[in-house]
Chains A and B, each alone.
Chain A
Amino acid sequence: MRTVLLTKPRLPAWLARIRQRSRLIAPVPDADGVLDWREVEDPAQVVLPPGAPELPLKKVFFPPSETMLRYAYRGDRAAVTDTPPALEPFVVFGVRPCDALAQRIADLVFLGDLPDPYYQARRQAATIISVNCTEALPECFCASLNNALTEAPGSDLLLTPLNGDYLVEALTAKGEALLAETADDPTAASEADLARKAEVAAQTAAQQTRQIDVEGLTELVRAAYHDEEFWKKQAEACVGCGVCTFLCPTCTCFDVRDDAVSGRGLRFRCWDTCQFADFSKEASGHDPRAQQWQRQRNRICHKFWYSVDRCGVISCVGCGRCLRGCAGHSDIAAAIENLRARAREEKPVTADE
Chain B
Amino acid sequence: MPNQTDQLRETCKRLLESGEVKKVIGYREGRAPYHVSPHFAETPEECDALVLTPFCTQNLVRYLRGLKPEDGKVAVVVKGCDARAVNALIAEHQLTREQVYLIGVPCQGLVDVDKLAKRVNLAQVQEVRVEGAQVVVRTAEGEQPFPAQDLLEDCCLVCEYPNPLVHDQMLGFEVAPRNPEGVDAELERIEAMSPEERQEYFRRAFSRCIRCYACVRTCPLCYCTTCFAQQNKPQWLPRSVGTDENEMFQLGRAMHLAGRCVQCGGCDRVCPVNLPLRLLNAKMAREIREAFAHVSGLDAEKPPPLATFDSQDRDIAEGNNYDR
Interface of A toward B, CB cutoff 8 Å: 30-34, 36, 54-55, 64-65, 137-138, 207, 209-210, 236-237, 239-243, 246-247, 255, 257, 259, 268, 270-271, 273, 276-278, 323, 325, 327-331, 334, 350-353
B62: A residues at CB distance < 8 A: 239
Q: How far is the CB of A38 from chain B (nearest CB, A)?
A: 11
Task: Please tell me if the beta carbons of A278 and B210 are within 8 angstroms of each other in the complex.
Answer: no
Bound: A242/B216 CA distance, A: 11
A sample of 8 more A-B contacts (CB under 8 A), given A138-B31, A353-B31, is A36-B273, A55-B273, A209-B123, A242-B213, A257-B238, A276-B230, A278-B230, A352-B35
A36 contact from B28, B208, B214, B238, Cβ within 8 A: B208
Task: Classify chain B's interface size.
Answer: 35 or more
Bound: A291/B52 CA distance, A: 30
Q: How far is the CB of A257 from chain B (nearest CB, A)?
A: 6
Give the secondary structure class of A's interface: loop
A329: B residues at CB distance < 8 A: 30, 35-37
Bound: A325/B114 CA distance, A: 12
Q: How far is the CB of A254 from chain B (nearest CB, A)?
A: 10
Instruction: Tell me how many residue pairs across A and B have CB atoms closer than 8 Å.
Output: 126
Q: How far is the CB of A101 from chain B (nearest CB, A)?
A: 21
Cβ contacts B120-135/A at 8 Å (1 or 0 each):
0011000000000000
Task: Please tell me if the beta carbons of A34 and B274 are within 8 angstroms of each other in the complex.
Answer: yes
Q: How far is the CB of A184 from chain B (nearest CB, A)?
A: 35
Cβ contacts B26-48/A at 8 Å (1 or 0 each):
00111110011111100000100
Q: How far is the CB of B281 from chain A (nearest CB, A)?
A: 17
Bound: A210/B30 CA distance, A: 12
Give the secondary structure class of B's interface: mixed
B216: A residues at CB distance < 8 A: 241
Question: A138-B123, A209-B31, A271-B241 in contact; A350/B214 too (CB < 8 A)?
Answer: no
In the complex formed, the residue of A with least CB distance to B123 is A138
Bound: A316/B212 CA distance, A: 20
Task: Please tell me if the beta carbons of B38 and A236 are within 8 angstroms of each other in the complex.
Answer: yes
Task: Please tell me if the beta carbons of B214 and A243 are within 8 angstroms of each other in the complex.
Answer: yes
Bound: A65/B32 CA distance, A: 35
Question: A54-B272, A65-B242, A138-B122 in contact; A331/B31 too (CB < 8 A)?
Answer: yes
In the complex formed, the residue of A with least CB distance to B235 is A257
